[in-house]
Amino acid sequence: MPDHAFQPDPAPRRAQVAAALRARLPASCVLSDAEDTRPYECDGLAAYRQLPLVVTLPTDEAQVLAILDVCRELQVPVVPRGAGTGLSGGALPIRDGVVLSTARMSQIKRVDPLARTAVVQPGVRNLAISEAAAPFGLYYAPDPSSQIACTIGGNVAENAGGVHCLKYGLTVHNVLRVRVATIEGDVVELGGAALDAPGLDLLAVFIGSEGMLGIVTEVTVKLVPKPALAQVIMASFNDVVTAGNAVADVIAAGIIPAGLEMMDRTSVRMVEPFVQAGYDLDAAAILLCEADGTALEVAEEIARMSAVLERAGATAIAVSQNEAERVRFWSGRKNAFPAAGRISPDYYCMDGTIPRKQLARVLAGIAAMEQTYGLRCSNVFHAGDGNMHPLILFDASAPGEFERAEAFGAAILALCVEVGGTITGEHGVGKEKIDSMCVQFGRKELDAFFAVKHAFDPVALLNPDKAIPTPHRCAEFGKLHVHHGEVPFPDLPRF
């Protein structure tokens, strides 16, 4: 939560910064009144809120550079923002900082069906890329649940995935080039049109850097052919442990589905009335397993997956019979987060990743934590790559429940690290998981992260309070969570 201790009146500083920005930008690109900046006080993690000093809305790269020039000259922190759908507080404003929103940079510059690429500005919506490529029989594969609203710039910042990331990869596997404005006023291009670019692979470093290294002004993405056919299996299980083991069985059989998702009973029952996807309400858990390709390829893969799931203990198997039914099956999974509002006033979405073989153990651990913290948890996740999204259900108006939800979430992330996983798969660290970084990484690793940031942002103005904890922060966190001077999970390798 933002610090509400005494702080100087920001009004004089706001006036100074707003005036300097308006001298370089059209007036419509600068917002400074509280009623105008209020919509930018948080991202999708609405539990954390802070009014920014000023919000800027550039429409092109030149305006982005102008904003960075002013902020560098006045030593004002800059928080980049896409559509604000992020779930880790990565776009949470800083009280004395500027929010740089790329939402108005929404031009699709070109689609090249021969090269199978699209060049877009960062404010282009994820789904809009596929819509533009559809006439050529192509689409953009990464499909976060928020794809109708989230933007490619935010996807790059968080290395977003989606339900089809198992087969087609995350953002980092589908972006060829980014054009970046640096805090020092330069424009650099990372990556290129070829499969590999000369020099250090800074593209992979930049993707997932959460706005701490530079501002994306243009992205070249890879497009893939739309499959001739896709079908999805809905498999029911009597318990989540059996379902978790079935996921490992599918992969062990040498099958890489286009999508492999899991939902527990709580998730299924909260989603079904919302979207009427046709889910099995009696199942303790369901798996959604998709095959795509030619008709023959799909038929063979559906048959192989069905056989594996039956041997693994599936109590029922249903296969989509047409495209409308396939979309309906997926609609339930993609609407799991908003559907949580039907059964709980608030929810806290976690994002840990674990080895697939540990799914059953972690699900059992989360069930035990429900009793410890006195809160329900709905489990929805990308089972194929072990990226879990537990939804902790709570009521923020009830005294102590938000604090218990935070502690519950931190315990889930600690468990992910304990079994050899990591604290985030696609949502990023942001403000939410910064303390959990102290659990996963030692001082040498964190110092290396800071060194990379310093190379890109020597004045430390780009999203400076996110993702990488300071030594002081880890020391304070350790006082609360490290007993007898011991490092958490000392036997685990730290990368």
Asked, colleague to colleague, whether 10-101 and 227-343 share their fold, the answer is no
Give the pTM.
Answer: 0.91
> Residue 21 and residue 57: Cα distance in Å, rounded?
11
Q: What is the mean pLDDT of residues 425-448?
A: 94
CA dihedral 21, 27, 32, 36 (to 10 degrees): -150
pLDDT at 481: 56
Q: Which residues contact 210 (CB under 8 A, 6 or more apart)?
A: 90, 157, 158, 428, 429, 430, 463, 466, 467
Q: How far is CA 269 from the centre of its chain?
A: 24
Kindly state the greatest CA–CA separation across the chain. 69
pLDDT at 18: 98
pLDDT at 270 over 80: yes
DSSP 462: B
Band of pLDDT at residue 483, cut at 50, 70 and 90: very low
pLDDT at 195: 75
Q: What is the mean pLDDT of residues 414-442?
A: 95
Provide φ and ψ at 242, rounded to 5°. Answer: -60, -40
Q: Which two tokens stand for residue 271?
A: 């989603």
Answer yes or no: are the C-beta atoms of 298 and 291 closer than 8 Å: yes
- The residue whose two tokens read 């902790």 is 392
Q: Which two tokens stand for residue 433?
A: 């998981």
Q: What is the mean pLDDT of residues 28-47?
A: 96
Among the listed ranges 10-14, 208-212, 357-361, which one has the minimum average pLDDT value? 357-361
- The residue whose two tokens read 């980092």 is 172
pLDDT at 484: 39
pLDDT digits (tens, 9 = 90+) for 133-156: 999 999 999 999 899 999 999 999
pLDDT digits (tens, 9 = 90+) for 61-76: 999 999 999 999 999 9
In three-state secondary structure terms, 222 is: strand
Among the listed ranges 34-48, 157-171, 478-492, which one has the minimum average pLDDT value? 478-492
Domains of the chain by residue range: 10-101, 109-225, 227-343, 344-494
Q: Which two tokens stand for residue 435?
A: 């303390």
Q: Which two tokens stand for residue 190?
A: 């990372």
Q: Which residues contact 76 (CB under 8 A, 6 or more apart)?
A: 17, 53, 70, 96, 97, 98, 461
The CATH T-level fold of domain 10-101 is 3.30.43
The CATH T-level fold of domain 109-225 is 3.30.465
C-alpha distances out from residue 15 to 18, 72, 95, Å: 5, 17, 14
Q: Which strand (E) or helix (H) includes residue 459? A: none
Residue 217 carries which side chain, given as an amino acid letter?
T
> Residue 320 and residue 190: Cα distance in Å, rounded?
41
> How large is the C-alpha radius of gyration of the chain?
23
Q: How far is CA 209 from the centre of its chain?
A: 12
Tell which CATH classification among 3.30.70.2190, 3.50.50.60, 3.40.50.10800, 3.20.20.100 matches the domain 227-343: 3.30.70.2190
> Residue 359 and residue 361: Cα distance in Å, rounded?
6
Q: Which strand (E) or helix (H) includes residue 306? A: helix 295-312
pLDDT at 5: 55
Q: Which two tokens stand for residue 295?
A: 């008709």
Tell which CATH classification among 3.30.70.2740, 3.40.640.10, 2.30.29.30, 3.20.20.70 matches the domain 344-494: 3.30.70.2740
- The residue whose two tokens read 């935070």 is 406
- Name the percent of the chain lying above pLDDT 90: 83
Q: Which residues contact 234 (CB under 8 A, 6 or more apart)?
A: 278, 279, 280, 286, 287, 288, 317, 318, 319, 320, 329
Among the listed ranges 146-150, 215-219, 480-484, which one has the minimum average pLDDT value? 480-484
pLDDT at 494: 40
- The residue whose two tokens read 């990331």 is 165
pLDDT at 51: 97
Band of pLDDT at residue 340, cut at 50, 70 and 90: confident
In three-state secondary structure terms, 62 is: helix
- Name the percent of the chain lying above pLDDT 70: 95
pLDDT digits (tens, 9 = 90+) for 463-473: 999 999 988 88
pLDDT at 479: 62
pLDDT digits (tens, 9 = 90+) for 112-128: 999 999 999 999 999 99
In three-state secondary structure terms, 289 is: strand
**149 C-beta neighbours (distance < 10 Å), count:** 16
